[in-house]
């Protein structure tokens, strides 16, 4: 807005001369444009994160930048793109060329009972809006391109499951199944957060392509059996999850299948002790012992009578990739549990240094195929950075409170330090016993000398 003075230069109203002064407001061209700028900005829609990304239906996200900075390669698929986020990228082009071949083999079987390619495409075309709602970012694909992607990617996953379970026999010289490295790569890529398709897409394609002579596995059962080659669990544990409902995608299903915990009785927590726990080294100073816990899963950690029982964890490239992507999923999707985030945060607190990781490995709590112990400790510590974590709602809150309460008992800390110093090894023990024996003998000698002086023997 521009202000101009019109008239003489003397503004003094007491001046008796007849000079009149007027203040005139003039709206410039730039001021008249503000309304159009505001309306244009208010009319723009987000292109990176949709407004509906916080809804229950939206479950497939781009990994947050704060997590991506710490380990950018961990969230990118190695050999296969599933869904729209990495579609068409050069680093997944090799397998992309094989997807039509898998779909053609599936069609050759399903045509025998009247299901052709039109049936698959039409079935998913009717769900296009529902599919788009599952992704947190706008999808710059037309209808036909998106549906083609869903059909080819979904059928590729299902055929992979069937081949591994020997429901379908591949060609004798199929290069994908004759190279050992591809299987672990597929398993890892199928569990990337950015590499997902909605589970209802897979379910629709699976139901349509199921041959009457095939084993009557549910898709959930077939999926769990496939991933059990990498994260092995007893069959009776898997059976509990064959009927699980409301699965969002493959990563969500594996996350749910790991939460095999008994119900916790409600309790009130003391804020003074409900804090993150100390490292293994510091906890040992207070007398806390560590031992592996025999149970069916990673998450069921217990603390009783000074003993912290942790289910054995095998850390390798597959489990580390799963942890990274599952934590990212739990950070983005507020409608699922935060069990994996709680677990890796707890383990990161324990393994503050390489010595902590080495100690857990020596006591059969950790089986390390990931790298050096400094790399293992660094992995868990980096994973906990910039992660939202509500300790009051954590399933390990009771364990943390009990650990901290036990740790802060100063008399126990001092007694444990004394035992470690004087009885930590056989030579220290021998030295302490020898010193004690000398002290006792000296006391006896002094006693008798004093006694003889006070009450000398009668002649």
Q: Is it the case that residue 2 has pLDDT exceeding 60?
A: no
Question: Is 451 among the domain residues?
Answer: yes
Q: Are residues 252 and 308 in the same domain?
A: no
| pLDDT at position 264 | 79
pLDDT tier, 141 (very low <50, low <70, confident <90, very high otherwise)? very high
Q: Are residues 359 and 442 in the same domain?
A: no
Question: Is 263 among the domain residues?
Answer: no
Beta bridge partners of 307: 289, 304
Between CA 418 and CA 421 the distance in angstroms is 5
What predicted TM-score, i.e. pTM, was given to this entire model?
Answer: 0.82
Lowest mean pLDDT among 12-21, 55-64, 172-181, 218-227: 12-21
Q: Are residues 319 and 379 in the same domain?
A: yes
Q: Are residues 329 and 358 in the same domain?
A: yes
Question: Is 265 among the domain residues?
Answer: no
DSSP code of residue 264: P
Q: Is it the case that residue 184 has pLDDT exceeding 60?
A: yes
| pLDDT at position 6 | 40
| pLDDT at position 4 | 41
Q: Are residues 438 and 373 in the same domain?
A: no
Residue-wise pLDDT for 377-399, tens only, equals 999 999 988 888 899 999 999 99
Q: Are residues 176 and 315 in the same domain?
A: no
Q: Are residues 239 and 117 in the same domain?
A: yes
Q: Are residues 304 and 243 in the same domain?
A: no
Other beta carbons within 10 Å of 382: 14
Question: Is 26 among the domain residues?
Answer: yes
Residue-wise pLDDT for 277-311, tens only, equals 999 999 999 999 999 999 888 999 999 999 999 99
What's the structural domain count of the chain? Answer: 4
pLDDT tier, 14 (very low <50, low <70, confident <90, very high otherwise)? very low
Residue 271, classed as helix, strand or coil, is coil
Q: Are residues 298 and 344 in the same domain?
A: yes
Question: Is 417 among the domain residues?
Answer: no
Q: Are residues 196 and 292 in the same domain?
A: no
Question: Is 262 among the domain residues?
Answer: no
pLDDT tier, 342 (very low <50, low <70, confident <90, very high otherwise)? very high
Give the domain extent around 340.
280-412
Within 13 Å of residue 459, how many CA atoms lie on the same side as its CB? Answer: 0
Question: Is 269 among the domain residues?
Answer: no
Between CA 456 and CA 459 the distance in angstroms is 9
Task: Characterize 121-160 residue by residue with b for buried, 16 or more Cβ atoms within 10 angstroms of its Cβ, and e for exposed.
Answer: eebbeebeeebbbbbbbebebeeeebbbbbbbbbbbbbbb
Q: Are residues 407 and 451 in the same domain?
A: no
Question: Is 272 among the domain residues?
Answer: no
Q: Are residues 87 and 7 in the same domain?
A: no
| pLDDT at position 5 | 40
> What's the length of the chain?
459
Between CA 244 and CA 233 the distance in angstroms is 17
Task: Characterize 268-305 residue by residue with b for buried, 16 or more Cβ atoms within 10 angstroms of its Cβ, and e for exposed.
Answer: eeeeeebeebbbbeebbebbbebebbebeebbbbebee
């Amino acid at each position: 807005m521009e202000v101009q003075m019109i008239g003489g230069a003397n503004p003094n109203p007491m001046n008796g001369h007849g000079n009149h002064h007027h203040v005139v407001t003039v709206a410039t061209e730039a001021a008249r444009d503000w309304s159009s700028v505001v309306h244009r900005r208010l009319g723009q829609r987000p292109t990176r994160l949709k407004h509906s990304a916080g809804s229950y239906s939206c479950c497939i996200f781009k990994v947050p930048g704060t997590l991506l900075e710490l380990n950018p390669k961990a969230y990118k698929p190695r050999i296969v793109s599933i869904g729209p986020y990495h579609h068409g990228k050069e680093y997944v082009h090799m397998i992309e060329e094989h997807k039509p071949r898998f779909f053609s083999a599936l069609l050759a079987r399903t045509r025998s009972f009247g299901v052709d390619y039109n049936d698959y495409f039409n079935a998913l075309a009717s769900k296009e809006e529902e599919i788009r709602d599952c992704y947190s970012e706008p999808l710059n694909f037309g209808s036909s391109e998106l549906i083609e992607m869903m059909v080819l990617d979904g059928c590729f996953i299902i055929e992979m499951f069937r081949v591994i379970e020997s429901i379908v026999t591949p060609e004798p010289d199929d290069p994908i199944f004759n190279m050992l490295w591809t299987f672990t790569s597929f398993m890892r890529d199928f569990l990337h957060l950015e590499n997902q398709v909605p589970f209802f897409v897979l379910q629709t394609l699976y139901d349509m392509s199921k041959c009457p002579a095939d084993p009557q596995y549910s898709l959930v059962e077939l999926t769990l059996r496939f991933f059990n080659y990498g994260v092995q669990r007893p069959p009776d544990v898997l059976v509990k999850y064959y009927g699980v409902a409301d699965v969002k995608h493959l990563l969500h299903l594996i996350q749910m299948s790991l939460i095999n915990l008994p119900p916790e009785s409600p309790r009130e927590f003391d804020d003074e002790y409900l804090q993150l726990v100390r490292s293994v080294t510091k906890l040992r100073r207070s007398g806390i012992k560590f031992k592996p816990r025999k149970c069916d899963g990673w998450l069921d950690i217990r603390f009783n009578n000074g003993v912290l029982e942790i289910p054995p964890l095998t850390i390798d490239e597959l489990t580390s990739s799963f942890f990274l992507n599952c934590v990212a999923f739990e950070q983005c999707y507020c409608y699922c549990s935060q069990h994996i985030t709680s677990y890796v945060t707890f383990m990161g607190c324990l393994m503050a240094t390489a010595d902590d990781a080495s100690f857990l490995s020596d006591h059969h709590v950790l089986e390390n195929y990931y790298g050096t112990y400094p790399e293992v400790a660094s992995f868990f510590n980096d994973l906990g950075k910039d992660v939202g974590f509500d300790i009051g709602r954590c399933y390990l809150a009771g364990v943390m409170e009990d650990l901290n309460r036990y740790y802060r008992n100063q008399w126990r800390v001092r007694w444990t330090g004394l035992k470690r110093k004087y009885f930590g090894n056989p030579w220290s023990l021998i030295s302490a016993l020898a010193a004690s024996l000398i002290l006792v003998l000296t006391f006896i000698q002094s006693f008798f000398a004093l006694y003889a002086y006070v009450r000398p023997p009668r002649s």
